[in-house]
Amino acid sequence: MLAILLAVCIIAAAALPCAAAQRTIAAPEGEYIPPKGALRLVGQDTWAAIGTILSNTGSQFVTGNADTDEIDRLFASLPLLREEDLLLQVTGLSTPMDIADQLLRGMRGIRLVLLETPQPDIYRLGIEYTDLLGRPRQSFDLLGEIEYDRAAGVFQNLDGWGCFNIGFDYDAAQHTVFAAPNQWILHWLGYNPLYDALAPLLIIYLDTCRIPFSYGGEDWQVQLWKGRYFYAFHGAEIGLYKKPIGYSAPHYVGAKDTMLPMSMELYHDEELLFSFDEKIRWWLTGFQYGNLFRTIYSHDELRLVGTITFEDPAMLEAFWKAFQADTPKGVTGSVEGLTFRFEW
């Protein structure tokens, strides 16, 4: 769960809420003029942008009502590149070692840019900078390729590993962090009841329910959560887990080889806090930050509505029988086709 807080801090530093962008045309090779502040590690305009984003994010945490127009205005001037603007010196920064190598080679004057893609309102997030000899360089592989969906306000890693490979993507329109398809942190750790018991030590106060079932000769479990995370987020989770063969203890790992379509909506009373249409996941999550003192809701104030679409009738039948035999307290469910729909 610590990764959730890390995700917001890192992604917010580069988050680009829905805003128009002005076009910048790169100078022809041999006529390059280093940008203002090229001797600095990060250009003055980019420092100002990062400072404004962090200030705005902090305001959202404290007041729950940040001025999103401030961010829109800021990124209205973000350089927008097209394919013909790409330089020959495109650099890969896909690992921390790549970044360290470029820093040692004199990376300076870093500034944020967007690159158009063939899809309308879909952009690639990147940087431009100069090396020690003043040569222009570009990179659109910032610990993984990050796609910006301007219409939805969503930032996600194209390879499914999460922005900057930290396992989480960011929905700027809903102020919500959500798990990437290839979420590796919690898959590697697995999950068992001990984690829930220890959660309060991390200021995580949740309500949870488990539906274990057997299918295909293996032990499975669907688990739901809702509540308060780190006293800074409210959110919810839907997880599909499978017990490793030979395990007798109640320890499960994420079913990455059997990801299913899932959706969720989280409400406070009748107010929709956030929602996600169907995503193919083994772990569908939403962690929304807001006013630390008034609008971070506890589990008994939240209502989770969601769906899970199973891969075949046999899997659905095995789950549905287990659900009906021991229905978790407060959860209602129904079946339509291969889809299990619940409200909690």
pLDDT digits 0-9 by tens, 9-22: 444 444 433 333 33
DSSP string spanning 237-294?
EEEEEEPPTT--SS-BEE-GGG-EEEEEEEEETTEEEEEEEEEEESEEEEEEE--TTT
Residue 40 dihedral angles phi and psi, to the nearest 5°: -85, 155
Contact 122, 29 (CB under 8 A): no
Give the per-residue pLDDT at 265. 98
Tokens standing for residue 107: 């990376």
Q: Tokens 């090396």 correspond to what residue?
A: 131
User: Helix, strand or coil for residue 155?
Assistant: strand
Q: Which residues contact 335 (CB under 8 A, 6 or more apart)?
A: 316, 320, 341
DSSP string spanning 80-122?
EE-GGG--S-B--B-SHHHHHHHHHTT-EEEEEEEEE-SSTTE
Give the per-residue pLDDT at 8. 42
Supply the DSSP symbol for 13: T
Supply the DSSP symbol for 54: H
Per-residue pLDDT averaged across 130-157, rounded? Answer: 88
Q: Which residues contact 136 (CB under 8 A, 6 or more apart)?
A: 26, 27, 32, 34, 87, 89, 128, 129, 130
pLDDT digits 0-9 by tens, 186-231: 777 888 888 889 989 988 999 999 999 999 999 999 999 999 998 7
DSSP string spanning 162-191?
-GGGSSEEEEGGGTEEEE-TT--HHHHH-B
Q: Tokens 């590690």 correspond to what residue?
A: 41
pLDDT digits 0-9 by tens, 242-275: 988 777 778 888 888 899 999 999 999 999 999 9
Q: What angle do CA 261, 264, 267 make, to 5 degrees?
A: 175
pLDDT digits 0-9 by tens, 19-47: 333 333 333 344 444 444 445 788 777 77
Give the per-residue pLDDT at 90. 78
Q: What residues does each domain of the chain span? A: 2-172, 185-343
Give the per-residue pLDDT at 185. 77
Start-to-end C-alpha separation, the chain: 22
Rounded to an integer, what distance in angstroms lies between the CA atom of residue 245 and that of residue 256?
15
Q: Pick the closest to residue 50 from 81, 22, 13, 75 (CA basis).
A: 13
Rounded to an integer, what distance in angstroms lies between the CA atom of residue 243 and that of residue 259?
15
Give the per-residue pLDDT at 293. 65
